[in-house]
């Protein structure tokens, strides 16, 4: 299928039709451009799993978790 499109000159302005010729210079036939295929979305990267803390690790000094462990008698100050 061919589409008609307004013809333009070197400066980008529309061309005028010359009435003394049988052909209409103001319009040109253009083949339609093929539509671009949509790009595939990249797969989300797998998030690294958080490493498990060692069971012997204690909460930081001054934290509520550490204070509750001292009160329960699980650790000494």
What letter does residue 69 receive in the DSSP assignment? H
Is 55 a residue whose pLDDT tops 70?
A: no
| pLDDT tens digits along 21-52 | 888 888 888 888 888 888 888 888 888 877 65
User: pTM for the complete prediction?
Assistant: 0.37
**Confidence (pLDDT) at 56:** 64
Q: What is the mean pLDDT of the chain?
A: 85
63-76: b (≥16 Cβ within 10 Å) or e: eeebeeeeeeeeee
**Confidence (pLDDT) at 46:** 85
**Confidence (pLDDT) at 36:** 85
């Amino acid at each position: 299928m061919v589409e008609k499109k307004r013809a333009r000159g070197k400066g980008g302005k529309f061309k005028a039709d010359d009435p003394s010729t049988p052909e209409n210079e103001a319009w040109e036939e253009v083949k339609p451009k093929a539509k671009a295929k949509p790009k595939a979305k990249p797969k989300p990267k797998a998030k690294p799993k958080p490493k498990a803390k060692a069971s012997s690790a204690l909460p930081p000094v001054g934290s509520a978790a550490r204070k509750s462990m001292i009160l329960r008698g699980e650790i000494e100050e």
